[in-house]
Amino acid sequence: MKLKKLSKAFLSLFLAFNMLMPMSNVNFYSGNAYAAEPSQSAGFSPSGGPPSNKSWTSTIVSVASTVGSFFGGCLSKLLQDAFGNLALRLIESTGIFDFDTYFIFSRYGENLVESAKEGKIHDCVERDKEIDNLLQVLLNEDKGNAIITGAAGVGKTALIEGLAYRIAKGNVPEYFKNKKIIRINMVALIAGDTYTGSEKAMARMRAMLKAAESDPDVILFIDEFHQIVNMHAAELFKTYVERNRVKMIAATTTSEYEYIRNDEALVRRFQEVIVNEPSKYQMMKVLNGLKPDIEKKYNIKITNDAISATIEYTDRYMRNKTFPDKALNVIYNVSKIASTNNEQIQKDGKAMPVPIVTRNDVISAISRDVRIPLGEITPKEQEFLDSMEQRVESIVVGQHKAVKKLCGAVRNSRSGVRYSERPNSSLFFTGTSGVGKSKLAQVVGNEIDGLIEVDFSDYTEIDAMKKLLNSKIFGYNGGLAEKISRKPYSVVLFDNLEKAHPNTIKSVVSILKKGYILDAKGNEVDFRNAFIVINSKIGEEEMLSCDSCTPTDEVIEKINQKIINHFGEDFFDSLDDVVVFNKLDKDSMSKITDVILDTFENILSDKNIRITVTKEVRDYIYNMPIDDKLGSISFDKFLSKNIFGVLNKAMINKKIKENSSVSYVLNNGKIELKVE
């Protein structure tokens, strides 16, 4: 009750002071805080306009001192500030006016010139031409507002910070000496509004523009300017930027600018300043220019090789990102990691020298970021690569040439030497069914923890590639495009490509020749680090008519010509190799059967069921006739029915329990299950 009376007394005192004090039209500026246009009369205007910030601040202090007398004396500065903040909250709660719009710049803006003077932002390296262009636009008396366009990450904001840095240092024409660049936080400005163009957001923007108009030294900087159009606030901005009532620099991406172009009246009030991605040579200057500041900030040293590696590897492996953003992110992250690790070691009581960021540190960081194995091959990885063929051939039997081709491509990719922009490999697998074409791609994909499968029999329409790139068939938004971006170092299996539409085949040719394809938004879908495997039944007839299990030169020639006739010479020339799979002979089928049965035994051993397939049963399976049209598929069907199916039925009927011993025996030419 006492607190409520005190609040009312506090408010009454404030209103009394406010009514007695003369009002001023002066816009008060302190640090980064601006006030909106003040009321023209004493006290509060009928529309709820606020008094000037100067009189408001004086009133707060006076009220705080007066309230202090209630407690028997002068309050300290800290308590005065506390009561001042309390006064703001009490008055705002009355609804007389909105402090949110009154203190518009202090809540939603930052004075970049002041920040530059305080050392919070730095000069923009290698952007002198763009800054000079921007200054020329701002000097224009009739059309003196600029809109900066460029891809995400090219340094549009850094360009404005560079201009603010020049103003802070006085390195600008006389007209700009006292200018203040106020960066508006548009996200915060429109935050909390359910509907675009809402009254509250519009009030904030109107207050922002009025405050800027009342101070000719203010230059507004609004990033993500396309949000203005999205909020239907374009008409408001047109009014203020016309005839230079407000000086403004807007910024947006190139793609979003195309959307803004639809409002011709808004666009013609701005002059476009294009910011292009810097070259690798320019990036070298940028990083070398920032190097001393980074080293000082993190207390580290950065080698010249680390700078070179940052530019080289981000350019090669971060295709969908731009300089300088991608290079700066890498060098800052690596520096921070080195600094943090060193601090942790020192906490453990060990004295350590200044950490050095090396080329290997940079490459390792980029490798983790892009999910592609890069850098030096460790002994463990060397052993893995050397034994890969042996592991794969234990599963994919009788296809030594094909295994060697695909595993060799994986091994060669780790050399770090690229001779073209094409994928790591582009292999065309053909042959009869059931010989391991798809299996080989799947096994190697699992070896490198990256497998993407596409069955083109599901994509026969004219716009199939567009649907494939952007569909959700893989469980990811974006389909194939999203899948390859998440795991660029993958085996990509294109199955049944012969069933695809000719337009789709042209898209595949683009992937094989250039290493990428453009999606519907014009973004690159990068396959340069993938291993492309095209699995097709073209050539099946030629292999079925071949007397030997290994394809002859004549058969290979016929198959190659058939590929050219169906897909075209351009497609054929884009391939690294055509691999014709062998037909399976008795020895291969025996090994495949052993692999399947051994795997079956291991699975059941995990369930505490001991299973034995006797030699007689194995020999019986080995001697089964081979159907060249089906290959191992015929054996899979036989095993599913006579081995796995019989066991599953017995388990369902509770004939086999845990810790049981089961054996398959041959009885009068039939395979039977014996439970012990």
At 545, is the secondary structure helix, strand, or coil? coil
Residue 48's pLDDT band, with cuts at 50, 70 and 90, is very low
Q: What are the pLDDT digits (tens) for 204-253? A: 889 999 999 999 999 999 999 988 887 788 889 998 988 789 999 999 99
The CATH superfamily of 110-274 is P-loop containing nucleotide triphosphate hydrolases (3.40.50.300)
Q: Does residue 81 surpass a pLDDT of 60?
A: no
Query: Which residue did the predictor score with more confidence, 231 or 408?
Result: 408
Q: What distances in angstroms separate CA 180 from CA 100, 246, 552, one per listed residue?
A: 21, 13, 80
CA 253 – CA 11 distance, rounded (Å): 48
Selecting from 3.10.110.10, 3.30.830.10, 1.10.8.60, 3.40.120.10, what CATH number does the domain 586-675 have? 1.10.8.60
Which helix (H) or strand (E) segment is 495 a member of? strand 491-495
Residue 617's pLDDT band, with cuts at 50, 70 and 90, is confident
C-beta separation of 490 from 530 below 8 A: yes
What is the reported pLDDT for 38? 36
What is the distance in angstroms between the CA of the first residue and the CA of the last residue of the chain? 88
C-beta separation of 440 from 591 below 8 A: no
Half-sphere exposure of 258 (CA within 13 A, CB side): 4
What is the reported pLDDT for 86? 63
CA 409 – CA 441 distance, rounded (Å): 12
Least Cα distance to 605 among 665, 671, 659 occurs for: 659
398: left (phi over 0), alpha (psi -120 to 50) or beta: left
Q: Matching CATH topology for 280-370 and 586-675?
A: yes
What is the reported pLDDT for 37? 39
| CATH code linked to domain 280-370 | 1.10.8.60
What is the reported pLDDT for 642? 84
CA 391 – CA 446 distance, rounded (Å): 12
CA Rg, the chain, in Å?
Answer: 36
At 662, is the secondary structure helix, strand, or coil? strand
Domain ranges of the chain: 2-102, 110-274, 280-370, 381-580, 586-675
What is the reported pLDDT for 44? 32
The residue-averaged pLDDT of 62-85 equals 52
| Non-local CB neighbours of 47 within 8 Å, separated by 6+ positions | none
What is the reported pLDDT for 103? 76
Query: Which residue did the predictor score with more confidence, 558 or 35?
Result: 558
The residue-averaged pLDDT of 30-54 equals 37
Q: What are the pLDDT digits (tens) for 482-516? A: 899 999 999 999 999 999 999 999 999 999 999 99
C-beta separation of 530 from 484 below 8 A: yes
For residue 260, the cross-strand partners are none
What is the reported pLDDT for 243? 77
What is the reported pLDDT for 161? 96
The residue-averaged pLDDT of 456-465 equals 84
CA 480 – CA 465 distance, rounded (Å): 9
- The pTM of the full predicted model, rounded to 2 decimals, is 0.79
Point out the least confidently predicted range of 104-118, 178-192, 258-272, 354-368. 178-192
At 406, is the secondary structure helix, strand, or coil? helix
C-beta separation of 362 from 312 below 8 A: no
What is the reported pLDDT for 327? 97
Q: What are the pLDDT digits (tens) for 277-302? A: 999 999 999 999 999 999 999 999 99
| Non-local CB neighbours of 598 within 8 Å, separated by 6+ positions | none
Neighbours of 560 (CB within 10 A): 17
The CATH superfamily of 381-580 is P-loop containing nucleotide triphosphate hydrolases (3.40.50.300)
One DSSP character per residue, 567-598 reads H-HHHHHH-SEEEEPPPP-HHHHHHHHHHHHH
At 381, is the secondary structure helix, strand, or coil? helix
Least Cα distance to 535 among 670, 622, 426, 405 occurs for: 426
What is the reported pLDDT for 9? 53
Q: What are phi and psi of 21, to 5 degrees?
A: -85, 140
Q: Does residue 13 surpass a pLDDT of 70?
A: no
Q: Does residue 75 surpass a pLDDT of 80?
A: no
CA 134 – CA 172 distance, rounded (Å): 12
C-beta separation of 436 from 394 below 8 A: no
Q: Does residue 322 surpass a pLDDT of 80?
A: yes
Q: Does residue 359 surpass a pLDDT of 50?
A: yes
Q: What are the pLDDT digits (tens) for 153-207? A: 999 999 999 999 999 999 999 999 999 999 999 888 887 554 444 778 888 889 9
At 521, is the secondary structure helix, strand, or coil? coil
Arithmetic mean of pLDDT over the chain: 83
The residue-averaged pLDDT of 326-350 equals 89
Task: Name the DSSP letter for residue 641.
Answer: I
Least Cα distance to 457 among 504, 518, 492 occurs for: 504
Neighbours of 187 (CB within 10 A): 11
The residue-averaged pLDDT of 309-323 equals 94
Q: What are the pLDDT digits (tens) for 369-387? A: 999 999 889 999 999 999 9
Point out the least confidently predicted range of 328-332, 541-545, 602-606. 602-606
Q: Does residue 574 surpass a pLDDT of 80?
A: yes
For residue 218, the cross-strand partners are 180
The three-point CA angle 244-247-249 to 5° equals 130
CA 588 – CA 571 distance, rounded (Å): 32
Place of tokens 């250039």: 514
For 591, the token pair is 């090994």
In percent, how much of the chain has pLDDT > 70? 83
Point out the least confidently predicted range of 224-233, 467-476, 547-556. 467-476
